[in-house]
Amino acid sequence: MRQIFLAALLDEVGIFAVEGTKEEDGPIVNTKYGPVQGLKVEAKDGSTANVFLGIRYANAPDNFHRFEETPYRRQMDFLHHATRFRAACIPVHSAHVNDRQDFSEDCLFLNILTPSDLQSAHPVMVFIHGGGFAIGNTEEYGYKKLVDHFVAKGIVVVTIQYRLGPLGFFSLGDPTAPGNMGLWDMATALEFLHDVLPAFGGNVNQITVSGQSAGSSAASALTFSPHADVYFHQTIELSGSVFAEYSLSESVVENSFALAKELGCQKNNEKDTRKILDCMRERTAQEILDGVDRIGPSRTHPNFLKFHPRIDGEFFPYALDQMLKTAQPKPVLSGFTDQESAMFASGFEGLPCLQRRPAHQGGPEELYSRRVLQIHLGKRGY
C-alpha cells in the first residue's frame, strides 16, 4: 500500500491540559456492565461534550493471573462515577515511576469522550498511546484537546491503557508464558467497547483504531489477529507498524529468561517454565522493576526494547508473512509525527549521517530519514 507521510503535531491531539475546562455532572449511561456517570465539559467552540474517565474494561490481574490473558470484566450493581483518570500501568523501569501519578497492576481502564448527543451513532476513534510498550498512560493526553479537536466535530474518542514492560510482554517462549498480554488487553478493550459504545452514542460499525509509535505498531498488529480484527474497520498509524524492527522479535524471550534468572526464578538453568512462571508470580511489582533495572539494556542499536510483542501461535496464529496473505484488508492511513525519532538520534551506534559520505550517496538528512523509515515501518515498508 502506498505510504502517506503526515506531519502531525502531537500537541494538537491532546497533551495534559484540563485547566480552564468547565465541568459539571454528566448524564448517567446504562451499559450491560452497569450504570456510568461522567462529566459534562465545554469545548473551545462552545459546544458541550460528555467525558467518562476511568471506566474499567477488565478486572485487575492478581498475582495468580499475572502474565496471562486479560481477566474477564464483571458486571457492576452500583453507579460508577467516571470522573477521574485511574492508576497508570506500571512502566518498565523504576525511573519512570513518579509521585505525580498512581501506578498499579490494576490499570485496565479506558476513557470515553462523546458529543452531547448520545442518541446518534457517531464515528469512533480508539487511540492507543505509545511509549515503546514500556511507558505511557492515558492521563498524559488528558481530554481537553481531544474534546476540542475531535469530539466537537462529532467523533467519539476512546483512549485505553494496557499492561507494559514485563508485566505486559514477559514470555518464556512456550504456551506456559507465550507473552503478548498487552495486546490481549487491547483486544479485550475493543470487545468491551463493542458491548457499550451504542449506549455512549458510538457507531460500532465505524471504529477507527489509531496510535502513535508503539501505539501505531499495536494498531497495525491488531489488524493481523483474529482475536481483534473483527472489532474495528480501519487504522491510522503514526510512526509505527507491526513490520517495524522494534515491534516483533524473539529477543523478548531471552530478556524474560534473563529477568527470571536475576530474580532467582531460574536457578541452575531450570528448564521447567511452569516453575519459573510460578516464581515470577510471587515477586512484587517493585522487585520486577528492580530486576529489569539490573539486567540493563538488551541491545545497543535502536532496537533497544526489552519487552515487546512476539509471534506466539495464539494472538498471532502464524508468521506475519502468512498472516499478510490471509488477513482481511482494511483501509490504512500511515504517516509520521513531526521530528520523529529526534529523541533517539544521539543513541544511534555508528549513525551513517554523522559520517562523511560521497554526495551521490545522499546527504545526512536523506540517510537519517531512510533509517528512521526502516525502523518504524520495517525494511519492506508497510
Give the pLDDT confidence of 146-167 residue by residue, as tens digits: 999 999 999 999 999 999 999 9
Containing 78, the helix (H) or strand (E) segment is none
* Ranges of each domain in the chain: 1-382
Those residues with Cβ within 8 angstroms of residue 88's Cβ, 6 or more apart along the chain or in another chain: 101, 102, 103, 104, 107, 137, 138, 139, 161
Query: Is the model's pLDDT at 184 over the cut of 60?
Result: yes
The Cα–Cα gap between 212 and 131 comes to 9
Residue 116 annotated as catalytic: no
Percentage of the chain lying above the pLDDT 70 cut: 79
Q: How far is CA 227 from the centre of its chain?
A: 16
Q: Would you state the pLDDT for residue 23?
A: 61
Q: Would you state the pLDDT for residue 362?
A: 53
Q: Would you state the pLDDT for residue 189?
A: 97
The Cα–Cα gap between 289 and 89 comes to 12
Q: Would you state the pLDDT for residue 366?
A: 56
Query: Is the model's pLDDT at 299 over the cut of 50?
Result: no
Kindly indicate the confidence band of residue 335, based on its pLDDT and cuts at 50, 70 and 90.
confident
- Between residues 313 and 337, which one has the greater pLDDT? 313
Give the pLDDT confidence of 85-100 residue by residue, as tens digits: 999 999 987 767 766 6
Q: How does the average pLDDT of the chain come out, rounded?
A: 83
Angle, helices 273-282/251-262, rounded to nearest 10 degrees: 60
Residue where the block lists cell 457517531? 122
**Choice among 171, 210, 213, 225 that is catalytic:** 213
Kindly indicate the confidence band of residue 18, based on its pLDDT and cuts at 50, 70 and 90.
very low
The Cα–Cα gap between 163 and 145 comes to 25
| Single-letter code of the amino acid located at 113 | L
The Cα–Cα gap between 248 and 234 comes to 21
Q: Would you state the pLDDT for residue 61?
A: 79
- Between residues 270 and 347, which one has the greater pLDDT? 270
Domain 1-382 has CATH 1.10.260.40: no
Give the pLDDT confidence of 40-53 residue by residue, as tens digits: 999 999 999 999 99
Cα distance between the two ends of the chain: 7
